Structure 1
Amino acid sequence: MPTTSEPLRKLGFLTIGLFDEADPGRGHESTLAVIELGERLGFDSAWLRHRHLQYGISSPVAVLAAASQRTSRIQLGTAVIPLGWENPLRLAEDLATVDILSGGRLHPGISVGPPMRYERVKQALYPDTADAEDFSYERVRRLLAFLRGEPATDFRGTEGVETFSDRVQPHAAGLAGRMWYGGASLRSARWAGEQGMNFLTSSVVKAEESEDFAEIQLSHIRAFRAHHPDGDRARVSQGLVVIPTDSASPEQRAKYEEYARQRLPRTATPQGPARLMFAPDLVGSSAELAEQLYAHAAFREVDEVAFALPFTFDHEDYVQILTDMATKLGPALGWQPAA
């Protein structure tokens, strides 16, 4: 619990990696450069969002494979991979491969549920099995089993000149223990705790027992830990949109404030049939942001964060925001950059 006397232990950031359809390479290169900058600034982790059929990173695991070869220390995460788009066996192979390439730095975040706009994409995604697919927590259980090294087949041995394993190869020891579940409901928080996973809580939650964002998020964190074998020591990472302006130009400050202003109305009441509550974006000097964060009930319950970068800003804006985050905001929260 970070208070004015207890420092924030881990500081990370999250990006969506937007790109121009006419020049996707530039956007992907910008994302890799941002991750490299994060390592130089001493951030503990860098996380990528997942976007299908949009102009954002559709394959964060592939991008993190590249990032693993351009960094040496920073932890690399996904927040989150929606498993409705994935085959757990194939994903386990990809995750294990990138974890090996990174030297054990991969922290995959996942979630379940039907793919977004499923009725419009199901014939392309699952043309023969669309109505039979299971989008429940069972998909997570399968993935975790494969990552732990449980059998994927009943055969192990040699046929002709080829040798076969009965479990996913390569096997990445320890990766299953670095899996995170991205949850927005009490049910997900409890379930993730029961599975012994780590828990990602973001700027979106479901308004189930309250319409106060911080209260809702706090209840999720406590429910997760109450059901986790490690109790209060179970890892939770909070991800809010936080934009320090210490070294920003007047034009940048105006842009950031307008971005937050346009998104503010959605934070007032639950949105849509799922009753989603959105956290207000926080914009200001590091001293102002630290004061707001210390007043946030859920922030006071965690000791690691992955602040989300706004989706639509320019590369130079991300450089300024990350630099201020690492040199101004992090220290104001008691955090120290990694060596």
Structure 2
Amino acid sequence: MPEHGQPVRRLGFLTIGLFDSADPSPGHESTLAIIELGEQLGFDSAWLRHRHLQYGISSPIAMMAAASQRTSRIELGTAVTPLGWENPLRLAEDLATVDVLSGGRINPGVSVGLPMRWDDVREALYPDTADAEDFGYQRVERLLRFVRGERVSGFRGTEGIEVFSDRVEPHSPGLIDRMWYGAASTTSARWAGEHGLNLLSSSVVRAEGEPDVDGAFDFATIQRRQIDAFRDTNPTGRVSHGLVIIPTDSATPDQIARYRAYVDARTPRTAAPQGPGRMLFARDLLGPSEQLADQLWAHAGFRGADEVTVALPFSFDHDDHVQILTDLATRLGPTLGWQPAG
């Protein structure tokens, strides 16, 4: 686990791939170009986030398939796929297929819970079974069984000229070790460890425990507690730490001004837990790499992780993402002791 002065082992980035509804192709091409750039810069991983019924990537698996044919080394992941929108058996087929196409580079991250805006989409998503669907951990367990290659059919053999398997095909044996869970609570982090998953710890956690003497909740302390709970049950599992981090080393004055406005607009939501789920958001980090490194080394959650996944600000332009990725790979990463992959 990183401590001040010890190197960060792996560095990745996350994007949602914004696009124009009237002309979606350029946005998708921009995302693929960013992933190609990430590989050229030596990043270890690139992650895509689902955005259903929005103007971000709705099918990261299809995008990973495309990216796998434009890259040769960088790992490709989802952070995260909300399983409430998915049939676990069909998802297992798609994941295994893309893993085979990529040469074993896929890192699927998943989460559970009701689909976002459930009351608005339930009739379209599950018109006949909405009240019977299970949106809890059991949905993840089904997916893991299918990815692992356990039996899903009562028939295996030949019928006429067709040959049938009783497990998901293709089967990609190493994929099960690269499954991740996006946890926001200590209970979820512990459950992920108990079930052999790796842990995605992001910029959102559930406000748990008692506030400090000022009545506030410390994000980093809560995040570290969740990471420690995961490690108690899965000491060898991977932990990815994710925040919005914006290095400004090579940014223009105009970029810095826009970045500052973005961060300032998002900061008020970090002051207290939000909504009925009492979700606590981390502050975005902005500044030169030396300053950012000091802030990260002081962050308890960061010090508890194996690897870092930087979330690219969703509304920024392509050129902004190029500048941020370049500074991450050439300035901040090396300041944290990270070495780009060859």
Normalising by the residue count of structure 2, what TM-score does the alignment of the two structures yield? 0.97
Find out whether 1:271 has 2:277 as its counterpart.
no
What is the 5 A alignment of 1:179-328? 179-209=179-209, 210=211, 211-228=217-234, 231=235, 233-328=236-331
Gaps of 5+ in 2: 212-216
CA–CA distance in structure 1, aligned partners of residues 174 and 70 of structure 2: 22
Partner of 1:178: 178
Tell me the residue number matched to 2:337: 334
Report the CA distance between 1:4 and its aligned residue. Answer: 3.1
The separation in 1 between residues aligned to 2:80 and 2:109, in whole angstroms, is 5
**Residue 38 of structure 2: SS of its match in structure 1?**
helix
In structure 2, how many angstroms separate the alpha carbons of the residues matched to 1:259 and 1:114? 29
Gaps of 5+ in 1: none
Distance 2:207 2:274 in 1: 9
Distance in structure 2 (CA, Å) of the matches to 1:300 and 1:161: 57
- Whole-angstrom CA distance in 2 between matches of 1:161 and 1:7: 57
Match of 2:71 in 1: 71
Q: Is the 8 A contact 1:245 1:284 kept in 2?
A: yes
Corresponding letter in the other structure for 2:172: A
For 1:251 and 1:23, locate their aligned partners in 2 and report how far apart those are by CA, in whole Å: 27
Amino acid at match of 2:273: P
Matched residues, number: 336
Residues in 1 aligned to 2:77 and 2:272: alpha-carbon distance in whole angstroms: 31
**1:153 to 2:153 alignment:** yes
CA-CA distance at 1:303 after TM superposition: 2.5
8 Å contact from structure 1 (residues 96, 170) kept in 2: yes
Task: Give, in whole Å, the separation in 2 of the partners of 1:176 and 1:87.
Answer: 17
Q: Is the 8 A contact 1:81 1:111 kept in 2?
A: yes
Which runs of structure 1 show a deviation greater than 4 angstroms over 4 or more consecutive aligned residues? none
For 1:281 and 1:19, locate their aligned partners in 2 and report how far apart those are by CA, in whole Å.
23
Corresponding residue SS for 1:174: helix
Residue identity in the other structure for 1:302? A
In 2, the alpha carbon distance for the partners of 1:35 and 1:98 equals: 16
- Cα distance in 2 between the residues matched to 1:244 and 1:114: 35
How far the C-alpha of 1:302 sits from its partner, in A, is 1.3
CA distance in 2, matches of 1:150, 1:222: 31
Whether the 8 Å contact between 2:333 and 2:339 is mirrored in structure 1 is yes
1:7 is matched with which residue? 7
| SS of the residue 1:108 aligns to | strand
Contact 1:61 1:94 in 2 (8 A): yes
Question: Separation in 1 of the partners of 2:67 and 2:31?
Answer: 9
> Do the aligned partners of 1:50 and 1:80 also contact (CA within 8 Å) in 2?
yes
By how many angstroms is 1:5 displaced? 2.7
State the Cα RMSD in Å: 0.6
TM-score, length-normalised on structure 1? 0.98
Q: Is 1:7–1:303's contact at 8 Å kept on the other side of the alignment?
A: no
Q: Does 1:97 align with 2:92?
A: no
* Secondary structure of 1:272's aligned partner: coil
For 2:104 and 2:244, how far apart are their aligned partners in 1?
28
Deviations 1:18-68 (A, max 9, x none): 000011000000000000000000000000010100000000000000000
Q: Is the 8 A contact 2:5 2:336 kept in 1?
A: no
Amino acid at match of 2:135: F
Distance in 2 separating the partners of 1:121 and 1:128:
13
CA distance in 1, matches of 2:4, 2:85: 42
2-structure distance, mates of 1:71, 1:126: 36
| 1:162 aligned residue | 162
Q: Measure the CA separation in 2 of the matches of 1:332 and 1:235.
A: 22
* Cα distance in 1 for residues equivalent to 2:204 and 2:4: 26
